[in-house]
């Protein structure tokens, strides 16, 4: 059973649909207890980093900390990945989980002298794939995934895959049982389904 956290940030339908398609049982929940007890947790999210403040209010942040400490596998998607970091300039007053160091920042308006469009929307490549990544098993460097976001996480020690747009950012972060993807695996065709399947099969 995978607990899919509903914190009223956008549309969960696609994530749940993809997990179900891959044979997983899911439970969409706002209940901190359910999260605490879960063996697998997915935190989806499209929208504003501010929306993650609800996780703290509902006690889900603590639930996640305890579940993860116990060894539960955790996957954050999009804003769900960003939440794993210390915070985001999108909502400076809202703290992230702080599992990974660093602050998420907006794409620069200008990069190397050229205007950079934002949001970053579309199919971009996973330019590196860390050897031994459980989440990226079977994914080749250069595989394309679908992104849509205006803030991005920095490249850190636990970055498992880097994508380039206005410089390098974290496409995938993974340390032990805590993982995040900035792209939308549920919308990333074969590569995305592969990543989700890897998570489902952990």
Partner 1 sequence: MLTKRIIACLDVRGGRVVKGVQFVDIVDAGDPAELAHRHAKAGADEIVLLDITATHEGRGTLIDTVKRTAATLFVPFTVGGGVRSAEDAAAVFDAGADKVSINSAAIARPELIGEIGASFGAQAVIVAIDARRGVHGVEDAEVYVSGGRKATGLRVVDWAREAEARGAGEILLTSMDTDGMRNGFDCELTAAVSSAVQIPVIASGGAGSAAHFAEVFGRGKADAALAASIFHFGVTDSRELKAELLRAGVSVRLPC
Per CB under 8 A, residues contacting partner 1 are 9-11, 13-14, 17-18, 21, 46-48, 117-125, 144, 146, 148-149, 164-165, 184, 186-193
184 in catalytic set: yes
In the complex with partner 1, the residue whose CB is nearer, 98 or 144, is: 144
User: Which of the following is catalytic: 73, 78, 90, 149?
Assistant: 78
In the complex with partner 1, the residue whose CB is nearer, 86 or 123, is: 123
DSSP symbols for 113-169: TEE--SSEEEEEE-----TT-STTTTPPTT-EEEEEESEEPPP-TTEEEEEESSSEE
In the complex with partner 1, the residue whose CB is nearer, 88 or 177, is: 88
Q: How far is the CB of 102 from partner 1 (least distance, A)?
A: 22
Strand pairing category for 144-149 and 151-152: unpaired
In the complex with partner 1, the residue whose CB is nearer, 63 or 185, is: 185
In the complex with partner 1, the residue whose CB is nearer, 99 or 149, is: 149
Please tell me the distance from the alpha carbon of residue 168 to that of residue 145, in angstroms, as a whole number: 15
Q: How far is the CB of 196 from partner 1 (least distance, A)?
A: 9
Closest CA to 99 of 82, 77, 113: 82
User: Which of the following is catalytic: 99, 120, 149, 184?
Assistant: 184
104 in catalytic set: no
48 in catalytic set: no
Q: How far is the CB of 123 from partner 1 (least distance, A)?
A: 4
Q: How far is the CB of 11 from partner 1 (least distance, A)?
A: 5
Q: How far is the CB of 109 from partner 1 (least distance, A)?
A: 8
User: Which of the following is catalytic: 73, 90, 174, 186?
Assistant: 186
Residues marked as catalytic: 78, 184, 186
């Amino acid at each position: 059973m995978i607990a899919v956290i509903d914190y009223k940030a956008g549309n969960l339908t696609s994530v749940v649909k993809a997990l179900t398609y891959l044979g997983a049982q899911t439970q969409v929940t706002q209940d901190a207890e359910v999260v605490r007890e879960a063996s697998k947790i997915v935190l989806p999210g499209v929208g504003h980093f501010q929306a993650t403040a609800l996780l703290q209010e509902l006690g889900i942040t603590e639930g996640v900390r305890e579940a993860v400490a116990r060894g539960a596998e955790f996957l954050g998607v999009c804003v769900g990945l960003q939440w794993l970091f210390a915070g985001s300039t999108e909502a400076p007053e809202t703290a992230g989980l702080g599992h990974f160091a660093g602050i998420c920042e907006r794409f620069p308006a200008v990069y190397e002298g050229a205007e950079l469009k934002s949001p970053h929307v579309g199919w971009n490549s996973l330019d590196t794939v860390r050897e031994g990544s459980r989440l990226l098993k079977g994914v080749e460097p250069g595989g394309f995934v679908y992104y849509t976001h205006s803030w991005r996480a920095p490249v850190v020690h636990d970055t498992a895959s880097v994508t380039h747009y206005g410089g390098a950012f974290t496409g995938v972060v993974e340390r032990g049982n805590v993982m995040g993807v900035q792209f939308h695996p549920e919308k990333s065709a074969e590569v995305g389904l592969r990543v989700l399947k890897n998570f489902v099969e952990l």
